[in-house]
Structure 1
Amino acid sequence: MGRNLQSGARLRPVDLARGHGLSTQAVRNYEEAGILPAADRTPHGYRTYTPLHAGALRAFLALVPAHGHRTATSVMRAVNEGAAEEAFRLIDESHAQLLDDRRTLQAVESAFRDLEPAAGSGPGVTFIGPLAGKLGIRPATLRKWESAGLVHPRRDPRTGYRVYDEAAVQDAGMTHQLRRGGYLLEQIAPLIAQVRAAGGPEPLEAALRDWHGRLAARGRAMLAGAAELEAYLRTRG
C-alpha cells in the first residue's frame, strides 16, 4: 500500500489486504485483535479503513520478523490503546533478548574453540544431579538428551548410577548452549555426532555462520520495524 494516500481516503478491507498479500479475513482478524484501530462502519455495516489503518498494518508486519507475532501484537495493541510506554517496554525486552542471544552465541563459539577430542577421556567425574545443577537444568532434561543420543553417560557397574565422564560433560555443555541458541534436539544431534567424530569445532562452522546470519537478520528487522512503528506513531499524533 502506497504512502501517498490522502489523509481522508477511505479504504475497503480488500484494499489493505491486496497491498500486503493478505486475505480480507486476516485484516478483519487484525482489527479484532487490536492490531489495527477500530474501523468505522458504513450505514450498511461495512468496514471502512483509512491511511492510519494502513500505517498500523505496515508497522505490525514489519514488527513480526523482528519480535515475533505475539510481541508484535502486544506492541500494536498497546499503542492503539494509548499505552506507548508499555509498547516501548516490550520492544526493550526483545532487544535485551537479542543481546542475550548474541552473548550465548559467543559462549558457544568459545566452548567449541576450546573443545578437546572426546576420545581417551578420563574416568567418570560427576553424576546426574551435580551436572544438572551446574547447567541450571533438571535431571529429567539430561535423561531426555541421553534418549536423543546427545549425551552418553556410562553406568556404574555396582550401583547402576549414571556417571558422566569428561566427554559426556562436554556433550551436555554443548547441547545446553545450542538449546539456548534456539536449536532443536534433532538439529543438535548431527552436530554433536560431527564433533565427536572430528574431535573439534570445525564441522560446526556452517551452523555457527547460520546462527550469526539469523541474529543479524533479526537486528536489521528490528531497525525496519522501529522505522515503521515511528511512522505510525507520528501519524497517530
Structure 2
Amino acid sequence: MQLRPIDLAREHGLSTQAVRNYEEAGFLPPARRSPHGYRVYAPRHAAALRTFLALVPAHGHATAGAIMRAVNDDAVDEALRLVDGSHAQLAADRSTLEAVERAFRDLVPPRERESGATLIGPLAHRLGVRPATLRKWERAGLIAPRRDPRTGYRIYTSDDVRDALLAHQLRRGGHGLEQIAQVLEQVRASGGPEPLRAALREWRHRLTTRGLAMLAGASALDTYVSGHGT
C-alpha cells in the first residue's frame, strides 16, 4: 500500500512539510522515491508518525524524536535508555512535588503565625539550626531579611519566617539550595502559600497527565517496534 505525504498529514492535521521534516529528522524511516522523485510512504511510515506523536506528550518533542531515530536505526536499547531517562525525571519531579506538599502541610497556618518580626537567634532556635545556616540560606537567595537601619541586625518578617520554615523542610527532604530557591520564588510570585496550593494541584495534574501519556506512548512504541519497526 502506497501513501503520499498528504495522506499522513491529513490523519493528524499536519502539513505535508511537517511530515517531510519529520522524515528528514529521522523520526520516520526514509521514504522511497517514485521514478519522478516523489516521496512514497508505506503503512510503517504512518505507524512511525503515530508513534512519534504519541511519544511527544510523554517525553517532549526532542526526546520523542531521539527515541524514534534510535528505533529506526535499529538501536532499540538506546531508545529504551531514553525512555528510562524520562521515567526517572518524572519520578524525580514527583518526589519534589511531594516534598513541597509535605513542607506546606508542616508549615504553621498563616492565621497562627505571629505578626511581629524576629531576629536571627530566635529564628535559628525555632528551626533547630545555627545562625550561620540562615546566613548561608540568605546568600543562596532563599530568604531576604531586611536590616535594622540603626543596629544592622537582620529582621525576619512573618513572610521571611515562612520561607525559612519551608526551606528547612525541603532541606530535610534532601533538596538542594538552588532547587529550594526556585520553589520559594514561586511562593513569592504567587503571593504566598495559599495561591501556590492551586499551582501545586495543577503541577500534580500535569505529572499525572504525563504519566498516563507515558503509558500510551509505551504502548504505541511497543506496537511500532514489534510490528512496523526496522
Coarse TM-score class (shorter-chain normalised) = 0.7 to 0.9
SS in 2 for 1:207: helix
CA RMSD of aligned residues (A): 3.0
Query: How far has the Cα of 1:160 moved from its partner?
Result: 6.6
Corresponding position of 1:48: 40
Say if 1:119 and 1:167, in contact at 8 Å, map to a contact too: no
Output the CA distance in 2 between the equivalents of 1:33 and 1:210. Answer: 33
Shift of the 48–160 alpha-carbon distance from structure 1 to 2, 3 Å rule, reads farther
**Cα displacement (A) at 1:221:** 0.2
**Unmatched tracts of structure 2, length 5 or more:** 125-130, 171-177
Residues in 1 aligned to 2:22 and 2:31: alpha-carbon distance in whole angstroms: 11
Q: How far off its partner does 1:52 sit?
A: 0.4
Aligned length: 204
C-alpha distance in structure 2 between counterparts of 1:52 and 1:131, whole Å: 55
- After superposition, the Cα gap between the structure-2 partners of 1:203 and 1:236, relative to the gap in structure 1 and judged at 3 Å, is closer
Matches within 5 A, 1:23-42: 23-42=15-34
The answer as to whether partners of 2:147 and 2:154 remain within 8 angstroms in 1 is yes
Pairs within 5 Å for 1:82-93: 82-93=74-85
**Pairs within 5 Å for 1:96-115:** 96-115=88-107
More helix by percentage: 2
In structure 1, give the amino acid aligned to 2:116: G
- Give the structure-2-normalised TM-score: 0.76
For residues 123 and 63 of structure 1, the distance between their equivalents in structure 2, rounded to whole angstroms, comes to 52
CA distance in 2, matches of 1:86, 1:194: 43
3-state SS of the aligned residue for 2:22? helix
Greater CA drift, 112-121 or 61-70: 112-121
Change (3 A) 1:121 1:112: farther
Residue in 2 that maps onto 1:230: 222
Q: Report how far residue 203 of structure 1 moved.
A: 4.4
Comparing 167-176 and 56-65, the one that deviates more = 167-176
CA deviation profile, 1:195-236 (whole Å, cap 9, x unmatched): 3xxxxxx54432222122111100110011011111110122
The answer to whether the aligner puts 1:120 opposite 2:116 as a matched pair is yes
Partner-residue secondary structure (3-state), 1:93: helix
Q: 1:77 aligns with which of 51, 69, 85?
A: 69
Please tell me whether the aligned partners of residues 118 and 155 of structure 2 are also in contact (alpha carbons under 8 angstroms).
Answer: no
Alignment match of 2:164 (pick from 143, 156, 169):
169
CA contact (8 A) 1:153 1:168 kept: no
Say whether 1:131 aligns with 2:137. yes
| Superimposed CA distance per residue, residues 97-119 of structure 1 (whole angstroms, 9 cap, x where no aligned partner) | 11111111110011000112373
Deviation string, structure 1 residues 163-199 (Cα, Å, up to 9, x no partner): 766344246668945846xx9x5x54343x233xxxx
Counterpart CA distance in 2 for 1:108 and 1:122 is 24
Higher mean C-alpha displacement, 16-25 vs 121-130: 121-130
What is the SS of the residue equivalent to 1:223? Answer: helix
1:215 corresponds to 2:210:
no
Q: Partners in 2 of 1:43 and 1:100 — Cα distance?
A: 52
Question: C-alpha offsets along residues 146-166 of structure 1, whole Å, 9 cap, x if unaligned?
Answer: xxxxx5322365897977663
